[in-house]
Amino acid sequence: MRQVVIPRKGGLEVLEVRESPDPQPREGEVRVRVDAAGVNFADVMARVGLYRDAPPFPRVMGYEVAGVIDLPSSRAGERVLAMPHFGGHSDVVCVSERQVIPMPEGMSFAEGASIPVVWLTAWHMLVELAHLKRGESVLIHAAAGGVGTAAVQIARKIGAQTIGTASAGKHERLRALGLDHAIDYRAQDFEAEVMRITGGRGVDVALDPLGAFKKSYRCLAQVGRLLMYGASDVMPGPGFNPLHALSAVARMPFFHPPRRRAAAGARRLRLGRLPRHRRQRDPLRRSAPRPRTHPVAAKLRQGSAGSLGRRQKLLLRLMKHLLDGRREARCQS
């Protein structure tokens, strides 16, 4: 088999394609012939030596793949997506049976390999953590990235207003995906633009993988939700510049959400003025053109998000939902 190997930290020039013997699956594993593999920011950080969870050099990265099982023979020919911890940038991978999920009919290998990391991240933040609802607004930084494009499409399906930051050359593609308002972060102040677009109210949800946490927080409406899941400003290019990284870290101020908001909430709670908790309904079900049972969020809430079994069910049902939405779009067109 062939593998993309990172022998040492550095830029793109350090990547090597090497030949290795095909691995043999152990008990409880399957072997997958890889047709497509995802490349994520964690893989890039590992290449420059900034990802603590990465294996030692020489290393083979890759967390998400899609392909066909060839061993054991009883499962040969099954189209699956798989979630290897590392080693996905290979022709062949061996993974636990619990980390393999059948692909629905009609889904391409490229689509399948894109789901386990970025789509699940976007879904978990918007649906499970932020509880984004129809009619709300969301600010999506790095909207043209993997998580960003997934978040744009999920928010559009929910029925939320979307505001995204990206360079001007990517705006047309983002609008085709459903983005309502595009901000060129190189030429515009995103905080001022968000306030202009929302009439000074701010957004209900903000997704920040950049490290501009304090500024993103100022873009929130009252009781808005800020989700921070990265610091890509530390390494904006293909190579690693220590001086730029230090400068980016220095620009990330420590901040604490204003305590007066927490104090005001506590007072309202003591006075009995807070509304009673209402059961969260699935926002996608409400925005769908016809009623459909969609228990993905409920399933994740019933148990640990880290459980492999529940994660498999979540991914499988998310894929089915994506296919249903695509079929509906085709029918409407």
Local confidence band at 116 (pLDDT 50, 70, 90 cut-offs): confident
Helix (H) or strand (E) holding 123: helix 120-123
DSSP characters for 67-95?
A: EEEEESGGGTT-EEEE--SS--SBSEEEE
Cβ atoms of 138 and 203 within 8 Å: the answer is yes
Q: What is the pLDDT of residue 50?
A: 77
Q: Tell me the C-alpha distance between 132 and 118, whole Å.
A: 18
Architecture of domain 2-113: Alpha-Beta Complex (3.90)
Closest Cα to residue 34, out of 59, 68, 5? 68
What integer is the mean pLDDT of 57-86? 92
Q: Name the nearest CA neighbour of 314 among 286, 332, 294.
A: 294
Instruction: Identify the architecture of domain 117-270 in CATH.
Output: 3-Layer(aba) Sandwich (3.40)
What mean pLDDT do residues 160-180 have? 96
The average confidence (pLDDT) of the chain is: 79
Which among 298, 271, 318 is positioned nearest to 117, based on CA atoms? Answer: 318
CA separation for the pair 56, 77 (Å, rounded) = 33
Cβ within 8 Å of residue 11, ≥6 positions away: 47, 48, 238, 239, 240
Q: Is 192 exposed, middle or buried (0-12, 13-18, 19+ CB in 10 A)?
A: exposed
The structural domains of the chain, with segments of one domain joined by +, span: 2-113, 117-270, 283-332
Q: CA 126, CA 132: separation in Å to the nearest integer?
A: 6
User: In this structure, what token pair is assigned to residue 331?
Assistant: 């029918």
pLDDT band at 92 (very low <50, low <70, confident <90, very high): very high
**Position 161 pLDDT exceeds 90:** yes
Half-sphere CA count of 294, side-chain side, radius 13 A = 22
pLDDT band per the 50, 70, 90 thresholds, residue 305: very low
Is the pLDDT higher at 293 or at 316? Answer: 316
Q: What is the pTM of this model?
A: 0.70
CB-based contacts of 235, cutoff 8 Å, min separation 6: 44, 45, 48, 50, 241, 244, 245
Weakest mean pLDDT among 182-186, 190-194, 213-217, 302-306 = 302-306
Q: Which residue has the higher pLDDT, 306 or 111?
A: 111
